[in-house]
A and B are shown apart, each in its own frame.
Chain A
Amino acid sequence: MVSKVDVAVIGAGPAGLAAAISARERGAERVIIIERAERLGGLLPQCVHNGFGLLYFEKDMTGPEYEKAFVDKANSLKVEFMLETMVIDLNEEGMLTVVNRQQGYKKIKPGAIVLAMGCRERPRGALGIPGERPAGIFTAGTCQRFVNVEGFMPGSRYVVLGSGDIGMIMARRLTLEGAKVEAVVEIMPWPGGLIRNEVQCLHDFGIRLLLEHTITFIHGKRRIKGVTVAKVDRDLRPIKGTERFFPCDCLLISAGLIPENELSKKAGIELDLVTGGPVVDQNRQTSVPGIFAGGNVVQVHDLVDWVSWEAELAGAAAASYADKGKIKRADQIRMVAGENIKYVVPQYISGKDDVTLHLRVSRPGLRANLKVGNILSKRFRSVRPSEMIILDIKAEKLRDARTLKELVVDCKLEGGD
Chain B
Amino acid sequence: MSKIETEVLIIGAGVLGAATARELSRYKVDVTLVEKEVDVGWGITKANVGVVCQGRDTLEFRPEYHRTKLLWKALPLMEPLCKELDVPFKRVGAYLMIRNLARKDKLDKLAKRTESLGLGTDTYLPYSELKKREPFISRDIKGGLYDHAIAVVHPVCLTQALAENAVQNGVNLMLETEVEEIQTGDSYFSVRTNQGEIKTRYIINAAGEWVDKIAAMVNADDFVLFPIKGYVGVLDRDCSELAKSLLAILPEEPGDMNIVVPTVEGNLLFGIQLQINRRHDHSTTEHMARKALENVRKIIPEISEKDIINSFCGYLMFRNFEIGWHECEVAMSSRVSRFVNMTIGYPGVSASPGAALEVVEILRNDGLRLDPNPKFNPYRKGIPDFSVLSEKERKALIKKDPKFGHLVCRCEMVTEGEITEAIKRGATTLDGVKFRVRPGTGRCQGGFCGPRVTRILARELGIPETEVTKAGKGSAVVPLRTKQLLEEGN
- Indicate if A touches B (C-beta under 8 A): yes
Q: Mark B450-490, 1 if CB is under 8 A from A, else 0.
A: 11000100000000011001111111111111111110110
CB of A121 within 8 Å of the partner chain: yes
Known A120-B448, A134-B470; further 13 A-B contacts with Cβ < 8 A: A120-B444, A123-B443, A123-B445, A126-B309, A128-B284, A128-B289, A128-B308, A133-B312, A134-B475, A135-B475, A155-B480, A156-B485, A178-B485
Q: Which chain B residues lie closer than 8 Å to A376 at the CB level?
A: none
Assess whether B447 is in contact with A142, with CB atoms less than 8 Å apart: yes
Assess whether A88 is in contact with B451, with CB atoms less than 8 Å apart: no
Assess whether B286 is in contact with A153, with CB atoms less than 8 Å apart: no
Minimum CB distance partner of B448 in chain A? A120
Minimum CB distance partner of B405 in chain A? A101
Could you show 18 A-B contacts with beta carbons less than 8 Å apart? A101-B403, A121-B447, A123-B444, A123-B447, A125-B308, A125-B445, A126-B306, A130-B284, A130-B289, A152-B465, A152-B466, A152-B478, A154-B480, A155-B480, A178-B485, A178-B488, A221-B282, A222-B472
User: Closest Cβ of chain A: how far from B434's Cβ, in Å?
Assistant: 12
Q: Which chain B residues lie closer than 8 Å to A126 at the CB level?
A: 236, 306, 308-309, 443, 445
A84/B283 contact (C-beta < 8 A), A135-B471, A139-B447 known: no
CB of A334 within 8 Å of the partner chain: no
Assess whether B443 is in contact with A153, with CB atoms less than 8 Å apart: no
CB of A102 within 8 Å of the partner chain: yes
A105/B478 contact (C-beta < 8 A), A120-B447, A128-B305, A179-B485 known: no
Assess whether B311 is in contact with A222, with CB atoms less than 8 Å apart: no
User: Closest Cβ of chain A: how far from B269's Cβ, in Å?
Assistant: 13
Assess whether B446 is in contact with A145, with CB atoms less than 8 Å apart: no
Assess whether B309 is in contact with A123, with CB atoms less than 8 Å apart: yes
Q: Cα distance A154–B485 when bound, in Å? A: 11
Assess whether A123 is in contact with B407, with CB atoms less than 8 Å apart: no
* Contact residues of A between 215 and 234, Cβ < 8 Å to B: 216-218, 221-223
Assess whether B482 is in contact with A152, with CB atoms less than 8 Å apart: yes
Q: Which chain B residues lie closer than 8 Å to A75 at the CB level?
A: none
CB of B369 within 8 Å of the partner chain: no
Minimum CB distance partner of A134 in chain B? B475
CB of B406 within 8 Å of the partner chain: yes
Most buried by A among B395, B447, B485: B447
Q: Which chain A residues lie closer than 8 Å to B477 at the CB level?
A: 135, 154
CB of A124 within 8 Å of the partner chain: yes
CB of A150 within 8 Å of the partner chain: yes
Assess whether A105 is in contact with B413, with CB atoms less than 8 Å apart: no
Assess whether B451 is in contact with A142, with CB atoms less than 8 Å apart: yes
Q: Which chain A residues lie closer than 8 Å to B394 at the CB level?
A: 99, 104-105
Assess whether A36 is in contact with B410, with CB atoms less than 8 Å apart: yes
Number of interface residues of A (CB under 8 A): 50
Q: Which chain A residues lie closer than 8 Å to B455 at the CB level?
A: 150
Assess whether B451 is in contact with A135, with CB atoms less than 8 Å apart: no
* Contact residues of A between 100 and 118, Cβ < 8 Å to B: 100-105
| The one of A84, A123, A138, A223 that contacts B406, using a Cβ cutoff of 8 Å | A84
Assess whether A101 is in contact with B478, with CB atoms less than 8 Å apart: no
Q: Cα distance A150–B469 when bound, in Å? A: 16
Q: Mark A292-324, 1 if CB is under 8 A from B, else 0.
A: 000000000000000000000000000000000
Assess whether B311 is in contact with A128, with CB atoms less than 8 Å apart: yes
Assess whether B283 is in contact with A147, with CB atoms less than 8 Å apart: no
| The one of A132, A153, A179 that contacts B478, using a Cβ cutoff of 8 Å | A153
Assess whether B309 is in contact with A125, with CB atoms less than 8 Å apart: yes
Q: Cα distance A105–B392 when bound, in Å? A: 9
Assess whether A104 is in contact with B413, with CB atoms less than 8 Å apart: no
Assess whether B483 is in contact with A88, with CB atoms less than 8 Å apart: no
CB of B251 within 8 Å of the partner chain: no
Q: Which chain A residues lie closer than 8 Å to B478 at the CB level?
A: 146, 150, 152-154
Most buried by A among B288, B289, B444: B444
| The one of A104, A141, A151, A153 that contacts B447, using a Cβ cutoff of 8 Å | A141
Assess whether B482 is in contact with A100, with CB atoms less than 8 Å apart: no
CB of B100 within 8 Å of the partner chain: no
Assess whether A222 is in contact with B480, with CB atoms less than 8 Å apart: no
CB of A177 within 8 Å of the partner chain: yes
A156/B473 contact (C-beta < 8 A), A132-B282, A133-B312 known: no
User: Closest Cβ of chain B: how far from A273's Cβ, in Å?
Assistant: 12
CB of A27 within 8 Å of the partner chain: no
Assess whether A88 is in contact with B443, with CB atoms less than 8 Å apart: no
Q: Which chain A residues lie closer than 8 Å to B309 at the CB level?
A: 123, 125-126
Assess whether B406 is in contact with A100, with CB atoms less than 8 Å apart: yes
A36/B407 contact (C-beta < 8 A), A151-B481, A152-B466 known: yes
CB of B310 within 8 Å of the partner chain: yes
A177/B305 contact (C-beta < 8 A), A123-B445, A222-B474 known: no
| The one of B305, B405, B451 that contacts A99, using a Cβ cutoff of 8 Å | B405
CB of A366 within 8 Å of the partner chain: no
| The one of B284, B405, B482 that contacts A102, using a Cβ cutoff of 8 Å | B405
Q: Which chain A residues lie closer than 8 Å to B475 at the CB level?
A: 134-136, 222-223
| The one of B234, B286, B398, B445 that contacts A101, using a Cβ cutoff of 8 Å | B398
Q: Which chain B residues lie closer than 8 Å to A84 at the CB level?
A: 406
Q: Which chain A residues lie closer than 8 Å to B311 at the CB level?
A: 125, 128
A153/B398 contact (C-beta < 8 A), A130-B289, A141-B447, A142-B450 known: no
Q: Which chain A residues lie closer than 8 Å to B289 at the CB level?
A: 128, 130
Q: Which chain B residues lie closer than 8 Å to A401 at the CB level?
A: none
A132/B283 contact (C-beta < 8 A), A123-B446, A142-B451, A146-B451 known: yes
User: Closest Cβ of chain B: how far from A110's Cβ, in Å?
Assistant: 19
Q: Mark B393-419, 1 if CB is under 8 A from A, else 0.
A: 011001100110111001101000000
Q: Cα distance A136–B475 when bound, in Å? A: 8
CB of A206 within 8 Å of the partner chain: no
Minimum CB distance partner of B234 in chain A? A125
Q: Which chain A residues lie closer than 8 Å to B474 at the CB level?
A: 222-223
Assess whether A105 is in contact with B398, with CB atoms less than 8 Å apart: yes
Q: Cα distance A101–B474 when bound, in Å? A: 35
Q: Cα distance A100–B405 when bound, in Å? A: 4
Assess whether A152 is in contact with B284, with CB atoms less than 8 Å apart: no
CB of A131 within 8 Å of the partner chain: yes
Assess whether A130 is in contact with B286, with CB atoms less than 8 Å apart: yes
CB of B285 within 8 Å of the partner chain: yes
CB of A86 within 8 Å of the partner chain: yes
Q: Cα distance A151–B483 when bound, in Å? A: 8
